């Protein structure tokens, strides 16, 4: 299918099915049940799943294939957001021109940063990208205030030119289809939201995943793997690796620009906080947590982090009292107090502990855990026993 071998075609079809069916799959509990707290099938969160999935997929092309660890990819995310909002201010609220400009501007910006940063490798490359990202953040926050609107953030106002607006919608849309529009389907106690904004971002993520899959399987991808394996040896063969690493850096930056444009398309606001070094660190965590160098790993890592970030932060002491109200009063208070340290405002602690567990026991990321489980299931007999001539895992 579309130039893919059988294994990659199956993987692509699985990703398509999971992505398009997410509004149903992520709402396993009835809306009025106590466990509905763990549902993630609402548009805002699902959009963040796929948008940050795009960001992580692009970062994986650079880090997973070449081994170059960038701490500055949030700069491209922020640049893409600013470019998209400026298109909304100057032309119209149609997301197509905004997304195109986001990718183009992020690509040009990544050429500039990559050309300088890739003169070094290893930790020096990482420090250079971090420095560029922090310079970009500080400039957006203060020096470039006429363009970025500083700490207030860039947004669309009623007195903006919007030369091509005409009679079109006053909110972000795709040729008339508003991003915030959604169809709500109720089935028994379940409620499913099918959002235009989510499916636009989902289709973009599927296209980004397909492109990364083709890159991984191409001669260009093999050259990037050679860079990661031993760049010095590759250079000794007479091959200049710089154009390949720069191309990977630019492609990765364009992915980040697309993610930034999609964030602005869902909420037409761009702020300097998207360019902070902490945002770049989150991108690194997503990729490592899911499995750097794997195809599906970055998406899994992005979903994992954004799910726990949003779900655990919503669980406050009131919710905990509702869950443990059946306990004796004194015991309920103690249990609630202890668990409240790990959720709500303390969700960072829980996410940190989960990340530590994955790194310690699954150094290859969550994908490695899935592969181990699949091998274990394949090597077990239908009755649950393990063949005597095959060691149990």
At 70 the three-state DSSP class reads coil
Buried residues in 169-202 as b, exposed as e (16+ CB within 10 A): beebbbeeeebebbeeeeeeebbbbbbbbbbbbb
Token match 């795709």: residue? 174
**DSSP label at residue 171:** S
What are the structural domains, with CATH classification, of the chain? 6-276 (1.10.3470)
**Average model confidence (pLDDT) for the chain?**
88
Closest Cα to residue 303, out of 288, 286, 291, 315?
A: 286
At 177 the three-state DSSP class reads strand
Handedness of CA 213, 54, 306, 62 (dihedral sign): positive
Say whether pLDDT at 384 is over 60. Answer: no
pLDDT band (50, 70, 90) for residue 391:
very low
Token match 């829980």: residue? 350
pLDDT tens digits along 198-232: 999 999 999 999 999 999 999 999 999 999 998 88
H-type alpha helices, the chain: 6-20, 22-25, 43-66, 73-90, 95-117, 122-138, 145-148, 196-217, 219-236, 242-266, 277-290, 297-314, 317-323, 329-340, 347-361, 366-379
Stronger pLDDT, 161 or 381, i.e. the higher one: 161
d(CA 314, CA 308): 10
At 321 the three-state DSSP class reads helix
Beta bridge partners of 177: 174
User: For residue 18, how far is the Cα from the chain centroid?
Assistant: 16
pLDDT tens digits along 38-75: 888 888 999 999 999 999 999 999 999 999 999 989 99
Sequence-distant (≥ 6) Cβ neighbours of residue 106 within 8 angstroms: 76, 79, 80, 83, 253, 254, 256, 257, 258, 260
Say whether pLDDT at 390 is over 50. Answer: no
Mean pLDDT value of segment 311-323: 83
Closest Cα to residue 129, out of 294, 272, 284?
A: 284
Q: pTM of the predicted model, to two decimals? A: 0.90
């Amino acid at each position: 299918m579309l130039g893919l071998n059988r294994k990659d075609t199956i993987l692509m079809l699985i990703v398509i099915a999971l992505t398009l069916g997410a509004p149903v799959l992520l709402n396993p509990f009835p809306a009025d049940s106590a466990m509905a707290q763990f549902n993630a099938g609402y548009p805002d969160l699902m959009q963040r799943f796929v948008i940050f999935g795009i960001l992580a997929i692009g970062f994986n092309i650079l880090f997973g294939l070449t081994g170059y660890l960038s701490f500055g990819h949030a700069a491209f995310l922020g640049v893409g957001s600013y470019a998209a909002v400026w298109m909304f201010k100057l032309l119209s609220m149609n997301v197509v021109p905004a997304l195109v400009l986001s990718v183009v501007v992020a690509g040009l910006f990544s050429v500039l940063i990559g050309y300088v940063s890739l003169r070094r490798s290893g930790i020096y490359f990482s420090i250079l990208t971090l420095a560029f990202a922090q310079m970009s953040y500080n400039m957006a926050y203060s020096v470039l205030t006429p363009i970025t609107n500083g700490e207030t953030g860039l947004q669309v106002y009623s007195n903006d030119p919007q030369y091509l607006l005409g009679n079109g919608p006053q909110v972000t849309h795709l040729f008339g289809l508003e991003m915030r529009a959604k169809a709500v389907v109720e089935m028994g106690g379940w409620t499913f939201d099918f959002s235009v904004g989510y499916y636009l971002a989902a289709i973009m993520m599927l296209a980004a995943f397909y492109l990364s899959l083709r890159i991984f399987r191409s001669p260009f991808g093999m050259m990037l793997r050679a860079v990661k394996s031993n760049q010095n040896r590759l250079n000794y063969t007479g091959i200049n690796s710089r154009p390949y690493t720069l191309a990977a850096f630019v492609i990765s930056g364009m992915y980040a620009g697309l993610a930034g444009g999609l964030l602005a398309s869902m909420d037409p606001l761009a702020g300097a906080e998207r360019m902070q070094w902490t945002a770049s660190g989150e991108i690194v965590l997503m990729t490592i947590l899911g499995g750097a160098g794997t195809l599906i790993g970055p998406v899994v890592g992005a979903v994992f982090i954004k799910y726990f970030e949003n779900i655990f932060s919503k669980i406050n002491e009131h919710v905990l009292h509702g869950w443990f109200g059946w306990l004796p009063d004194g015991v309920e208070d103690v249990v609630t107090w202890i668990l409240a340290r790990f959720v709500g405002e303390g969700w960072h602690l829980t996410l940190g502990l989960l990340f530590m567990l994955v790194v310690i026991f699954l150094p290859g990321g969550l994908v490695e855990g899935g592969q181990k489980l699949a091998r274990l299931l394949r090597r077990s007999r239908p009755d649950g026993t393990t063949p005597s001539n095959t060691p149990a895992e």
